[in-house]
Amino acid sequence: MKKRALAMLAGALTLGVLLAGCGSGKDAAGDGKQQTGPASKYVFALDGVEVAVNADMAPLAEALGEPSDYFESESCAFQGLDKVYTYGGVIIRTYPQDGKDYVLSVELKDDAVPTREGIYIGADREAVLAAYGQPTDETATALRYVDGDCTLAFILAENMVTGITYTSDAA
């Protein structure tokens, strides 16, 4: 009798644990805060300042100091300004949302600054693969790595990196 009860208990508990442990991680108990998309491991660092796509540009602009060039264009129907900040060979583009500017893309134009993983413009395809592993997708002219809300693309010409861009997928 006692054994049977114990067996039942053990079975019930195991089933409970198994059932509760399975699944895709959907959590009904959210905190109600707005999600702009999962953060990405691909973040660019310029002069020690981390510039992630979809980050608020205001504090970044302050930390990065005066840009070497700045351009802004009014969106149609006055929905805000699209801004382009140039810091030497790095171009940061923003998009407006709810009265703030967020980073749309970061583009490396020359070999003055590498990515955080050490890839410069001019590196070869193998160096990118060694630093980043297999890309999410690959074409004849680009290696693309997607993580969270960011796509990191290495533009290739004759097996050499000619452009590097971090682009927001959430915008």
Partner 1 sequence: MKGRRWPAALGVALGVLGILYLAQRLLVPKYQTGVVEGSMVAEYYRERVDHDLIFIGDCEVYENFSPVTLWEDYGISSYIRGSAQQLPWQSYYLLEDTLRHETPKVVVYNVQALRFSRPQSEAYNRMTIDGMRWGPAKVRCILASMTEDEHFIEYLFPLLRYHDRWGELTGDDVEHLFAKDPVTHAGYYMRADVKPQTGFPAPQALADYTFGDMPMDYLGRMADLCREKGVELILIKAPIEYPYWYDQWDGQAAAFAAEQGLTYLNLIPLRQEIGLDMTRDTYDAGLHLNVRGAEKLAAWFGGWLLERIDLPDRRGEPAYDAVWEEKTALYDAMKQQQYAEIEQYGELVTFGANAVEG
Partner 2 sequence: MLFTSYAFVGFLALTLTAYYLVPGRWQWPLLLAASYGFYWAASPWYLLFILVTTASAYGVSLKLADLSGEQRAYLAAHKDLTREEKRAYRAGIKKRKWAWLLACLFLNIGILSVSKYTNFVIRSFNALTGRGLGPVDMIVPMGISFYTFQTVGYVIDVYRDRQPVQRDFFKLALFVSFFPQLVQGPISRYGQLSQTLFTPHKFAEKAFSFGLMRILWGYFKKVVLADRLLPAVTALTGDGTYAGAYVLAAMLLYAFELYCDFTGGIDIAIGVGEAMGIRMPENFDLPYFSKNITEYWKRWHITMGTWFTDYIFYPVSVCRPMLRLSKWSREHLGQAVGKRVTVYLASFIVWLTTGIWHGAAWNFVVWGLANWAVIMVSQELAPLYERFHRRFALRGKAPYEAFQVVRTVLLVSAIRMFDCYRDVPLTFAMLKSLFTRFDPRVFTDGSLLGLGLDGADWLVLTLGLAVVLAVSLYKLKRGGIREALYEKPPAVFYGAMGALLVCTVVFGAYGAGYDVTRFIYDRF
Which residues are at the interface with partner 2 (CB under 8 A)?
1, 4-5, 8-9, 11-13, 15-17, 19-30, 32-34
Report in angstroms how near the CB of residue 90 gets to partner 1 at its nearest: 12
Report in angstroms how near the CB of residue 100 gets to partner 2 at its nearest: 14
Encode 52-71: b = buried (16+ Cβ within 10 Å), e = exposed. Answer: bbbbebeebbeebeebeeee
Of 80, 106, 108, nearest to 95 by C-alpha is: 80
Report in angstroms how near the CB of residue 23 gets to partner 2 at its nearest: 4
The contact mask relative to partner 1 for 102-141 (x = CB under 8 A, - = no) is: ---x-x-x-----------------------------x-x
Q: Are 150 and 169 in contact (CB under 8 A)?
A: yes
Query: Alpha-carbon distance 44 to 78, whole Å?
Result: 30
Cβ closest to partner 2, residue 26 vs residue 134:
26
Of 106, 14, 100, 5, nearest to 58 by C-alpha is: 100
φ, ψ dihedrals at 148, nearest 5°? 60, -130
Output the furthest CA–CA distance in the chain (Å, rounded): 83
**Window 43-102: residues binding partner 1 (CB under 8 A):** 69, 71, 73-79, 84, 86, 91, 93
Q: Which of partner 1, partner 2, none is residue 36 near (CB under 5 to 8 Å by kind)?
A: none
Structure tokens at 41: 């491991």
Residues at the interface with partner 1 (CB under 8 A): 69, 71, 73-79, 84, 86, 91, 93, 105, 107, 109, 139, 141-142, 144, 151, 153-155, 162-163, 165
